[in-house]
A and B are shown apart, each in its own frame.
Chain A
Amino acid sequence: MSLNNATIKARLIEKFGDQVSGFEEPYGMLTFEAPKDMNLKVMQFLYDDGELRFQFLTDLTAIHYPDKSGKELAVVYHLHNLADNIRIRFKVFTDINKPDIFTATQLYSSANWMERETYDFFGVNFVGHPNLKRILNVDEMEYFPMRKQYPLEDQTRIDKDDAMFGR
């Protein structure tokens, strides 16, 4: 195994300097973040570089952190280098009031529906996407249901004491 987390990290820092940050290795998977207008540059570099070759998009999704002001939405990419069999996780954060992120569809055909799903549930606006419309929910829906301000159960119910059971 030639490629390891340390090498990937070094290559990224060499190329992008302090623009890539927040390096972590939870459960062995290299995780880092970049500014949101850099997402395509970073992914293109990871794709094209002869040593890194992250050419398989495993997963694309978003997370909502309502308390992180200005960085409420995180878009998470899981990339896989199949030749060296190593995975990385790459995050970009965006303001929920201006959730514009460049689309990865030019790089990965698989990103098409994954981005539509992310738009559908979190309202991330993928700039340049060929067909950005809802995919699993009905077209008439007016909100993005996976955001944390939409609780699962009716909050007017008084017969369940959440303070007691903590869910």
Chain B
Amino acid sequence: MPETITHHHVKLPEGSIEKATITLNLGPTHPATHGVFQNIVELDGEKIVSAEQTVGYIHRAFEKLAERRPLYQITTLTDRLNYCSAPINNMGWHLACEKLLGVQTPKRVDYLRIIIMELARISDHLICNSVVGVDSGAYTGFLYVMQYRELIYEIYEEVCGARLTTNIGRIGGFERNFSNTAFEKLEKFLNEYPAVLKEFENLFNRNRIFMDRTIGAGPISAQRALNYGFTGPNLRAAGVDYDVRVHTPYSSYQDFEFDIPVGATGDCYDRFLVRNQEMWQSLRIIEQAYRKVQEFKGADAEVYHADAPEYYLPPKADVYTKMEALIWHFKIVMGETEIPPGEVYHSVEGGNGELGFYLISDGGRTPYRLHFRRPCFIYYQAYSELTKGSMLSDAIIVMSSLNLIAGEMDA
């Protein structure tokens, strides 16, 4: 609590509140928050005495909305959680549904999904790491890598027609096969991106100024990180090798060879390095997945969805000519398909950690209850502990290196 000053030179008006600390509002709209949330920091000079977080400014009641929507309409809600890697959220939701419905996806679908998910992970980490650069005074990296996020978005666009809130894929697979242009752009990305990432690392990794700013800023021990429910890169930076892709493989991640990078101190520098390393690993995964996709020949090379007529829309031409297709089409679009009763928890490794979907169905047409485990919301609690006693400028950089996304916090 702020201390009271007993002697001062300034004569304050009657009734003034005297305190030795300054209250500073970072947010709700502030360039440093990169989203709509608030930190109320109590400063002693430039040192942080305490910090209190406020969230909920963009709460959109997704869980309530989901209780009145058929499954396929909920995908658009998941877009708006972590909007830096919307495809991972979409895929996670489809996988949760498929688990409940018992839909088996073909291998080619799994691999195509992995390509999209890993591209999304790269774009997510790319934003986070380059923004850490911006917040520590190095704008160059951000501008440099944005071209390649643009290329990733072009690939999404080629696959699903959208860029940010993608609504990519369907229950059972994709809405259409990947076009040749999509693969060409993917090849371009795989050819050009490694050099860019290398250059990005050259700009930062051993940069004295950057190291001085980030080493020791906002550290957390493995023990505390686990107790705070950290997952994803932030937990791995503290030295715990927990990754949902390895621990509970989904979408055939078990077919791939990749490493889990870990840090030691859990500070901003380690979080930065872990994210950079993960981008290299994601590249490895995409290369393997692309090779596997190319190995499919003949009819197998055209497979892009599972055989699940109850949930996957039939081709439009069939709707006009075949009775059965017309019925399925009508039932799906009108949300008249009954979901089997059940209780499912499915999680995927999102950009920020374990993104979980807890879905309860009572046999109706919409979920009885849907809860999103949002990694951001859970680890943002640690913010006041991470920044206590540090400088104000460190608090800013801790905020960006945790990759706090308002959409994911508020749901």
Contacts and interface: CB of A to CB of B under 8 A. Distances in A.
Interface of A: 26-27, 29, 31, 55-59, 61, 63-64, 76, 78, 82, 85, 87, 89, 108-110, 112-114, 117, 121, 134-138, 145-146, 152-153, 165-167
B240 interface: yes
Nearest to B380: A113
Nearest to B66: A152
Nearest to A114: B378
B110 interface: no
Contacts of B68: 152-153, 167
Contact of B382 (A109, A117, A121, A153): A109
Interface stretch (B111-119, B190-198, B358-366): B358-366
Interface residues of B, number: 49
B27 interface: no
B358 A59 contact: yes
B65 A152 contact: yes
Contact of B229 (A63, A108, A153): A108
B378 A82 contact: no
B343 interface: yes
Interface stretch (B54-62, B130-138, B267-275): B54-62
Interface string B380-411: 11100000000000000000000000000011
B99 interface: yes
A112 B377 CA distance: 11
Given A109-B227, A165-B336, A166-B365, A31 B343 contact: yes
Contact of B381 (A29, A87, A112, A146): A112
Interface in B137-186: none
11 contacts: A26-B342, A26-B343, A58-B356, A63-B368, A82-B226, A82-B242, A85-B248, A110-B228, A134-B56, A136-B411, A137-B56
Interface string B224-235: 101111000000
Contacts of A109: 224, 227-229, 381-382
Nearest to B369: A63
Interface in B35-82: 55-56, 59, 61, 63-65, 67-70
A112 B356 CA distance: 18
A27 B97 CA distance: 12
A137 B59 contact: yes
